[in-house]
């Protein structure tokens, strides 16, 4: 099972594209993800999933949000390894969730 970080753009900003984090966690769990953690209301998510294709998983995430919430956000999906920065490599999802804001800064 791989560790992923999903970075979203354009959710929960200015009252547009509202997606509560508890519901986002449930959505990820319904897509077969485990150890799902969110970071603030921005929609950054750290999770584990056995999907081999980050691209296909990203498409499934966007489609599920479109189906359930009526909008399709931009998603950058990082996978460990090799996309997650070395300082976070080898950490569990809780530790990565604490460090994900550093990755989010680069995405913004």
Domain harbouring 31, CATH code: 3.30.70.1280
Q: d(Cα 69, Cα 76) in Å, to the nearest integer?
A: 19
Domain span at 67: 2-107
Q: What is the DSSP letter of 16?
A: B
Compute the Cα dihedral for 39, 73, 4, 67 and give only its sign: positive
pTM: 0.76
Query: How far from 36 is each of 2, 14, 25, CA to CA, in Å?
Result: 12, 25, 6
Please report the pLDDT score of residue 81 as a whole number.
Answer: 58
pLDDT score, position 80: 66
Helix (H, G, I), strand (E, B) or coil at 82: coil
DSSP 8-class letter at 41: G
Give 44's strand partners.
39
pLDDT band for position 108 (50/70/90)? very low
Beta-carbon count within 10 A of 58 CB: 17
Q: What is the pLDDT of residues 39-98, one digit of tens each?
A: 877 778 999 999 878 889 999 999 999 999 999 998 888 886 555 555 555 545 444 444
Structural domain tally of the chain?
Answer: 1
Which pLDDT value is given to residue 68? 95
């Amino acid at each position: 099972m791989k560790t992923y970080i999903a970075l979203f753009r354009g959710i929960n900003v200015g009252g547009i594209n509202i997606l509560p984090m508890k519901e986002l966690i449930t959505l990820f769990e319904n897509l077969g993800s485990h150890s799902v953690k969110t970071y603030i209301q921005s929609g950054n998510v750290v999770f584990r999933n056995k999907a081999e294709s980050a691209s296909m998983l990203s498409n499934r995430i966007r489609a599920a949000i479109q189906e359930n919430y009526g909008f399709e956000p931009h998603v950058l999906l990082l996978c460990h390894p090799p996309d997650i920065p070395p300082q976070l490599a080898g950490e569990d999802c809780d530790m990565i969730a604490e460090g994900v804001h550093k990755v989010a800064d680069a995405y913004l």
